[in-house]
Each structure stands twice: as structure tokens, then as C-alpha cells.
Amino acid sequence: MPLWALGFVAALFAVSCLSLWTFVVISRPALPRITSAPEFILATTAPTLAPGSTDLPTLEPPTPTVPPNVNPGSINLGSFVQVVRTEGDPLKLRQAPSLSGEVNYLALPNEVLKVVNGPTIADGFTWWFLVDPINESRNGWAVENYLEATTGP
């Protein structure tokens, strides 16, 4: 086969590939432009009013869910308890047995504490005064729902 024929076939192949590539680039659909500004979508439900009423209903903020007290009566003075069911969050030990009491210490999940006072009923919960057996400055009132009786530290 002569060399010029081989060159002609190679040139024909190159022109065919270039033509096919041009066709693909021109005929493909345009992609949407990406913007750097975020788009926020708020999904809300509008309150419904009774016909003729002008009073708007009051909307309550969502309340955190508290696990039920699964073992009432198993915690006693002088016993040890472990922080449980907090979903990985620390348990707030408060200066007073109240949801509005100032936070004195954050007990980590599975931390073992000693019961030194209680029980006290307030804000619809049973509260126990707990102390860290290693450092007594780490103390406060905690809701029984997040505690489980255990053996010593």
C-alpha cells in the first residue's frame, strides 16, 4: 500500500472524529448555571381561621422530648447513678431542682455520679442532687428520667 494512501486514510479518520465531536458538543443540552448563592425554601403551614374570626391562633414552640422514667424507685440516697438516654448530649446538673435553675455542671453520657439528696418533685419531674465522687464541685440537681441506678464508680 502506498504511503500517500495511508496518510489519506489517517486524515479522513481525523476529520471524521473531529466532525463527530463537533456534532456532540453542539447538540447536547445546555447545563444549568451553578450559582454560589444558596436558595432557602421555607415550608410552613398557615394557621386556619374559623369563618368570620379575626383571632390568630397562638403557635407554641416545639418542646424537647423527655424519655419516660423507665425505672422509678430504683434510685436511693447514697447510691450511684449513670447518665443515660441523653442521645449523646450532656446532662445539665442545675443549682436548683427546676428547669429554670442555673446550670452548675454538664455531666457526660455514661458518667457515674453519687446521689446525696432528693428526691424532689418540681416542674413535673423527679429531681435528685448528684455529686461527682472524684470532684465534689461537680454537682447539681438532675431529672430522674436521664439516670439509671448502677454500682459504684
Assign residue 117 the CATH number of its domain: 2.30.30.40
- Residue 43's pLDDT is what? 64
CA–CA dist 79, 24 (Å, integer): 76
Comparing 40 with 142, which gets the higher pLDDT? 142
Q: Say if 24 falls within a structural domain.
A: no
Q: Say if 39 falls within a structural domain.
A: no
- Residue 116's pLDDT is what? 94
Q: Say if 14 falls within a structural domain.
A: no
**What Å distances lie between residue 66 and 46, 81, 84, 137, 140, CA to CA?**
28, 18, 12, 27, 19
**Of the candidates 118, 129, 126, which has an alpha carbon nearest to the alpha carbon of residue 145?**
126
Q: Say if 100 falls within a structural domain.
A: yes
Helical segments of the chain, H only: 3-27
Total of domains in the chain: 1
Give the alpha-carbon dihedral of 96, 122, 67, 82, to 10 degrees: 40
Q: Say if 57 falls within a structural domain.
A: no
User: Which amino acid is present at 94?
Assistant: R
Cell of 72: 422509678
User: Has residue 93 got a pLDDT over 90?
Assistant: yes
Q: What's the domain range around 146?
A: 80-150
- Asked whether the beta carbons of 105 and 89 are under 8 A apart, the reply is no
Q: Say if 22 falls within a structural domain.
A: no
Q: Say if 116 falls within a structural domain.
A: yes
Tell me the whole-structure pTM to 2 decimals.
0.55
Span 21-34, average pLDDT: 71
- Residue 130's pLDDT is what? 95
Buried b / exposed e over 82-97, threshold 16 CB at 10 Å, is bbbebeeeebbbbeeb
**Of the candidates 103, 84, 85, which has an alpha carbon nearest to the alpha carbon of residue 94?**
103
Q: Say if 92 falls within a structural domain.
A: yes
